[in-house]
Copies of this chain bind each other. A is one copy, B any other.
Amino acid sequence: MLRLFNLSKDKEEDILKIIKNREEENPEVISNVLNILKDIRKDGDKALVKYTKDFDKVLLNSNSIKVSKEEIEEAFNIVEESFIKAIKSAIKNIEFYHSKQVRNGYSIVKEGEVFMGQLVLPLERIGVYVPGGTASYPSSVVMNVIPAKVAGVKEIVMVTPPSANGGINPYIAVAASLAGVSEIYKVGGAQAIGALAYGTESIKRVDKIVGPGNIYVAMAKKLVFGTVDIDMVAGPSEILIVADENANSKFVAADLMSQAEHDKLAASILLTTSEEKYNEIIKELEVQIEEMERKDIIKESFSNYGMALICKDIKECIRISNIIAPEHLELMVENSMEYLGEVKNAGSIFLGYYTPEPLGDYYAGPNHVLPTNGTARFSSPLSVDSFIKKSSYLYYSKGELIKAAEDIMLLASKEGLTAHGNSVKVRFCND
């Protein structure tokens, strides 16, 4: 269960240590992944087929790597109407939220003949990794694809491991089709990341790879970074809930469990203003936890990384939250919006008593790909910005260059870079 700390008795740094160092290391992973990437680079499709046979127990050939139109039509026949309705509503909300992030370039015309500015261009081709396995994650498809689509990326490629019969999970296929994916390939693991980064006969290389995966996928993304861009290497998840006296303990307990069920490394943190409230929430947790399908994961996550802290007021709760920089922050307090200005570091902020984290995870509009493990101090949710690149441009006329010439040559000479100065000098002294 959540360990209780008290700021008046416990040292702040001891408390914060608990959620640090949640990474698990595995030295074998890196060498395995390096070998897989090398093979993909050397043998292309042949290596893709081999690893899919080894790891997924599915025999692909060059014709069946790519998901066909017929397979997608079939998926639409399989899934329930209610699912299509729900995912369409989610897509609409997510598109609307992300459409506000679209940016234009700018240009500056200065007196005289000086013209400069910044271009904003979409990436040309991106890859989205979607995990396979027993569960399917259509929400992951839409959260990764829609910002790219809104940014104007023309070629959005998805890779996902084949199901046991060599097909594709129908919920994933439907979500991909509705979100606007242009190509889908039935490959997964480090081999799929290699194919996206280097290209094979069937899969053209991309400019950026996004999406979550297991430790092999995460390691492969780290290793191809530089050849292509990547979103982030996601660490374990966390939720931090600030609950005041009026917060319903049932709601608080339910929300604490909603992140803990993801992963035994997830951290659930409760900040509240009285020990009575804490006791009430713990009592609720003890009842609700037994009804959860994934109660074993929840219990392990709570006992390793769960924590509760009694603070003197809401402002102190937020001060502590800013140090932790949680992925998800729920402010279950009266007048929650009044505290928004105090929040300095958090991936996504959920305000009030009726905004549980899963509302944002699936549906409302903001992205669920968020900075984890304290990185909200310096990084941001996945957004349209993640799928664009910028270039600066500059034009000076001869007359304007001559006005600046002396200063530039002086600065170049102070840095000992005389060929830099020469490129200005040659335009006036030698012609």
Cα A425 to Cα B138 in complex, Å, equals 21
- Contact residues of A between 112 and 134, Cβ < 8 Å to B: 114-119, 121, 123-124, 134
Contacts A208-B378, A351-B394 hold; do A294 and B419 have CB atoms under 8 A apart? yes
Q: Are the CB atoms of B383 and A378 closer together than 8 Å? A: no
- Contact residues of A between 280 and 294, Cβ < 8 Å to B: 288, 291-294
Residues in B whose Cβ lies below 8 Å from that of A343:
119, 391
- Of the candidates A103, A139, A292, A406, the one having the most CB atoms from chain B within 10 angstroms of its own CB is A139
Contact with B along A406-427 (1 / 0, CB 8 A): 1110111011111111111111
Contacts A86-B410, A134-B416, A407-B85 hold; do A423 and B254 have CB atoms under 8 A apart? yes
Q: Are the CB atoms of B411 and A362 closer together than 8 Å? A: yes
Interface presence of A366 (CB below 8 A): yes
Number of A residues near B (Cβ < 8 Å) is 126
Residues in B whose Cβ lies below 8 Å from that of A86:
406-408, 410-411
Interface presence of A390 (CB below 8 A): yes
**Taking the full assembly, how many copies of this chain does it contain?**
2
Cα A425 to Cα B205 in complex, Å, equals 43
A359-B401, A363-B408 provided; 15 other pairs, C-beta below 8 A?
A86-B411, A119-B340, A119-B343, A123-B377, A138-B415, A254-B425, A254-B427, A294-B419, A345-B391, A354-B397, A358-B412, A358-B424, A363-B411, A364-B396, A385-B385
- Contact residues of A between 210 and 255, Cβ < 8 Å to B: 226, 228-229, 233, 248, 250-251, 253-255
The dominant DSSP class at the A interface is mixed
Interface presence of A97 (CB below 8 A): yes
Residues in B whose Cβ lies below 8 Å from that of A425:
254
- Of the candidates A385, A423, A425, the one having the most CB atoms from chain B within 10 angstroms of its own CB is A423
* 19 A-B pairs with C-beta separation under 8 A: A87-B411, A97-B116, A114-B364, A115-B337, A123-B378, A124-B344, A257-B423, A258-B422, A261-B419, A262-B417, A288-B422, A292-B418, A345-B391, A352-B396, A354-B396, A354-B398, A362-B407, A363-B411, A380-B391
Cα A406 to Cα B82 in complex, Å, equals 10
Which residue on chain B has the smallest CB distance to residue A260? B419
Residues in B whose Cβ lies below 8 Å from that of A356:
401, 423-424, 427
